[in-house]
Structure 1
Amino acid sequence: MNYSLFAKVFVAVIVIQSFIILIGGQLNIIRVDRLIQQREYEYDRKDMLVVQDAYNHKLKQIRTNVLSLFFDSTQSESILEKIKRYKGTTKAEDLTLQAEIQQFLQSMAYTDESIRSILFVRNSDEQKFAFVRYFDPSLLPNFESMISLKEDEFVKVYPVDASPTKQVLIFILKVNDPNTVGMKQTVGNLVVSIDTGFLQIEGDPLHADSIIELKNSNGTIRMSGNSFAADISQIDLDARKHDSKDYFVTQVDNTVDDMVFTMLISKKQLKQSLFAMKKNQWMTIVAIVFLNVFIAFYISRALSKRVNTVTRNMRKYTPGEFVNPILIQKQDEFTVLEETYNQLILKLSEFIQKEYVMEIKSKEAELQLLHSQVNPHFLSNMLEILRMQAIKENNLNLSDTIYQLSEIFRWNIRNKETVVTLYEELYYIEYYLKLQQFRFPKLQFRIVLPQNLQNQRIVKFSVQPIVENVFKHAMNKGKETDIHIQVIEAYDSIRVSVKDNGKGMVADDLDLLILKMQKPLADTKDTPSVGLMNVHARLQLIFGEPHGLEVQSQIGEGTKVILHIPKNEVGP
């Protein structure tokens, strides 16, 4: 088969380049092998310095925590003074002190996830105040000797094996009384147990085939990778310090205290890694070429697809039509564009829907108003004629009743505002209840409206449907009905409470009513002034969703409906 000159030249160039890369790779591996042997000790020492810095930082942090014992910015008395005052009795004062001390220790522990427990041991009577999360050092057999610090000792550290797989560092700090001369009188010792996991979190120096040892005059702990997990306590680190063929051993003496840090790392994994590099070199070269081409094609296609999705949706969007939001599957720069698009579509849809619903409601209200204006005028005139006739016949009770009914009709005709004052709303509610007293002689009612709230705004005819429900559903035959209407000023709103002593509601019916009220504009066919659900919807449409109705009821005890409205006083 004949190949073109271009194909032959291309193949030759690829072969020559591959051969050069292979030879260069072999030489580079040899150089890297030598460089690793020279630099590994320095790297290990840096790792140990990371561990040392983490240890010293934690020690400094714990010392800083001691200062918080001397003062509390939120209280006039420091925790240390409370510890001194605590007498260990069951009196209320001591129980309060104990709870405050416990809460303080708990808050200190929650500032650091590595803290396993915090104890304060008072010197005078060895009284212990403790918050224990996982490990309690007071259970150690030598705890009493551990907390015995010499006069010139202020900090002691005990490395302790809490379990075969868990090690802790116990920091014991002497706490002196700042109110004594020279701060020489000791109040007690703060004992903080720290999980050694923070040493790995700080710099992640622990390799799979390494051992880290922390040792001082008080004890020794060791942490290891998976390769040494079986018998790390049996390994003699001192004997292997000079074994440079198979191990790297680094030791650092701490400058703050007598802690000695030692790290041992096996070279076995390093040798295996170098062998794997040689074995996989030619595979890596080929894989990188094909992988680069594939990734470039895949990324460009993925990005183009996401941009095209946003562009396509924006082009086909028509106001008023439902458009599915873009499914966000990744978090990157394009996510901002997708989220912005989704929020824009959602807000446009909500705005259009709200405007559409309010326009329909407005049209319905106008039609109902036009339809209802004829009858009230006629009825108002007829009622006035009847009232005058009742006066002529000296029937004053009937005359007053007709007058109250006529006033309600006149207000309905005269006041076409959607929002009125609380005074107006409750003034005509009083007329309405007096009319009902003519029908139900056993009816009693009270209306409490503070003078400073009389000019607050409320939706017109929002209280009357609630009162009407009492006569429709709540009244007990033969029992005196009591209705109590009260206006209360809350922190940021006004509450109008309508309470009765009627039948009440069972829990299932109450839950069903509350569920229906959550649906927007539950019954669009009802007039805006009838029904709890429409009152709730009207309040939310005019004042916003945080406002509306709250219903409370107990069977046999009555029902309480609370209207939540904003503070919005009508100007003079």
Structure 2
Amino acid sequence: MMHRGWTYVSMIFKSVLAAKLWLIAYVVLILIPASIFLYAYSQRYSRILEEEVTRTMLQTLKQAEINLNHQINSLRDTSNAIFMNPKLVTYLRTSASYGDQLDALNELRYMVDNARTNLNVFRVRLYVDDSKLFSHEKVNFFPYESIKASPWYKDVLNAGGLLVWTGAYMEHFIDIPNEDPYIFSGLRILRDPDHYDNISGILSIDVDARILENILSNIKLNNEQQVFLVAPDGTLVLHSDKSLLGTKLKSSAVLNTIEQSNEGVSAIEEDNSQQYVVYTTISATGWKLVAEVPKKGISSRAASLNQISSVATLTGVTVLFLILVFILLAFIVRGMNRRVQTVIKVIKREGIEGLDERYGTSDGDINLLEKSVDHLIHRVRNLMEETYKSKMQEREAQLRALQAQINPHFLYNTLDTINWIAIGHKAHDISQMIDGLAKYFRLSLNKGKDVVTVTDELELAKVYLEIQQTRFPKSFEFEFETSVAHDDGGAEGQERSLDSFYIPKLTLQPIVENALLHGIRKSKGKTGKITIRAVVEGDDLLLSVTDDGIGMEPELAQSLLTEPRPTMRNDGSGSSYGLYNVNERSKLFSGEAYGLHIQSSPGEGTTITARFRCQSHESEA
């Protein structure tokens, strides 16, 4: 036994040595070039990914810039609407009487309240001359002298009526005593309509700084990012560190970078720290939206993306290696196959005795293989016979089980119908119902046989429909269309009646039931017509049932043939096993190529066709 094991190991080792040229070729032609390519590709791909990441960050910043422009332009429109209001002009006139001012104030208060319907407007403030009514109200109206000390007062005067935006600053409001919010203000001068050269006031539109801070906080570039707004002179307009508001940006490298163009991405190095500066310009104010992102964060992100490419390349190299392994195994198997073919040739030429003589001095491996194969063949033959018998028994059991599932429900419906007729019509139609029911039992039971002639099956369908006509009077009509078959064996051909063909028992009745109860009875008028056809096409027998009822979706029609539905329906029409079981029994009877086919569309009726292989009494016997 030990010697046999060493023989196997020796054979495999010799096969590997025989393939050493393939191993050398693999290392030289595949492994080394692939490693060099993988390294170069990784470096190049990292640079490309880094550029792509920074480009994506710029696009994210530009989207935030669009949002900021939208907010500021909305505030500018509100300022323009107030600036152009005639009542404001009346109020600002030096010649305006107190009555005119009071009348204008009512309109101005309504206008101020209406301006706050813009969710971006935090407060509207008017700085007017002390002589004006309510100039010391200090909610919406303020004395003109109180704004002269503001750092942006000169900028507002120099703007000549254009809107000037301040940076974020803290302001106190007497109507909000517990909070001093940070706000942005858009200011413009108001001129005296009677003396245009004179300045009669300043209009301020305030916006809560948190609105702009929320836009900046939604910018997600990196965990270590710094995003802020900078005025054209380098003053910080908005920053997460409130102590820096109004101060100059400390980084000269960042200032020099953002002054070069309206938008861009630049790599800078400051204090031994490498970072990217991503910036864009807010056209409504001239401010710069700036994001500082450490370069190591972008590099790590690019590296993570690069891992995907590296895995793909490594997978390719692995596949090439596996291909080579398969080639080597093919050589080994080919060598073993030659040995087996030699054994087979010896057996064919000299028989088992020749095999014993040829390999008698060997360890008996081939002899053992031959005996094992012979035993395997006998075993497989026995298993095939057992499988065939079990399959036949299984088919017969399935046929009987499926048959048994669809018999009872009609009996229940018919007895129920007879009962209601007896109660409602005082037994006038009981005789007719019992006669039809007797015919139905006789044809369906068929003396215990599982197959019936086509003629008997058609007669059974007719009896069923007659009983249902009693149950549902004047609700439907039916007709039968049949054709005879011609036997091509003779010179002129010989007609064969449908009575000579056999099909599984209770094939048509479930289909007819489906047409009546689910097609016609569910239509709007609950009336219709059922047509039953029996046609022979070549070696196939076709039985079809057509109704002009409500029809159904093709998907539902297909599911009726593929999914058993054993649950009872509430209307007492029995289970929906019918079509599924008929389809399965048809396939068991004639083969998988046969069975039911449903053609239907909503509102266009339904045609169900059952296809069987023509099977006469003689061929069945």
Alignment TM class, shorter chain as reference: 0.3 to 0.5
Q: TM-score, normalised by structure 2?
A: 0.32
Which structure is larger by alpha-carbon Rg, 1 or 2?
Answer: 2
Higher relative contact order (CA 8 A, sep 6+): 2
Q: TM-score, normalised by structure 1?
A: 0.34
